[in-house]
Chains A and B, each alone.
Chain A
Amino acid sequence: KAGVTQTPRYLIKTRGQQVTLSCSPISGHRSVSWYQQTPGQGLQFLFEYFSETQRNKGNFPGRFSGRQFSNSRSEMNVSTLELGDSALYLCASSLVSISGLNTGELFFGEGSRLTVL
Chain B
Amino acid sequence: KQEVTQIPAALSVPEGENLVLNCSFTDSAIYNLQWFRQDPGKGLTSLLLIQSSQREQTSGRLNASLDKSSGRSTLYIAASQPGDSATYLCAVKAGTALIFGKGTTLSVSS
- Could you list which residues of chain A lie within 8 angstroms of chain B, going by C-beta atoms? 4, 6, 31, 33, 35, 42-45, 48, 55-56, 58, 90, 92, 102-111, 113
> Is B96 close to A, CB under 8 A?
yes
Which residue in chain B gives the minimum CB-CB distance to A46?
B97
- Could you list which residues of chain B lie within 8 angstroms of chain A, going by C-beta atoms? 31-32, 34, 36, 41-46, 49, 51, 89, 91, 93, 95-103
Q: Check B44 against A45 for contact (C-beta < 8 Å).
A: no
Q: Check A106 against B103 for contact (C-beta < 8 Å).
A: no
Q: Check B51 against A90 for contact (C-beta < 8 Å).
A: no
Q: Is chain A's binding surface mostly helix, strand, loop or mixed?
A: strand
What residues of chain A lie closer than 8 Å to B95, measured between beta carbons? 56
Return the contact of A103 from the options B41, B44, B89, B93 (Cβ within 8 A). B93
CA of A107 to CA of B51, assembled, Å? 16
- Provided the pairs A90-B43, A90-B44, A110-B42 are in contact, do residues A105 and B96 lie with their beta carbons within 8 angstroms? no
Q: Check A102 against B102 for contact (C-beta < 8 Å).
A: no
What residues of chain A lie closer than 8 Å to B32, measured between beta carbons? 103
What residues of chain B lie closer than 8 Å to A104, measured between beta carbons? 49
- Listed A/B pairs (8) with beta-carbon separation below 8 Å: A33-B96, A33-B97, A35-B98, A48-B97, A55-B96, A90-B44, A102-B96, A103-B31
Q: Check A108 against B44 for contact (C-beta < 8 Å).
A: yes
- Provided the pairs A33-B96, A103-B31 are in contact, do residues A42 and B103 lie with their beta carbons within 8 angstroms? yes
CA of A113 to CA of B99, assembled, Å? 21
- Provided the pairs A42-B102, A42-B103, A43-B89 are in contact, do residues A105 and B97 lie with their beta carbons within 8 angstroms? no
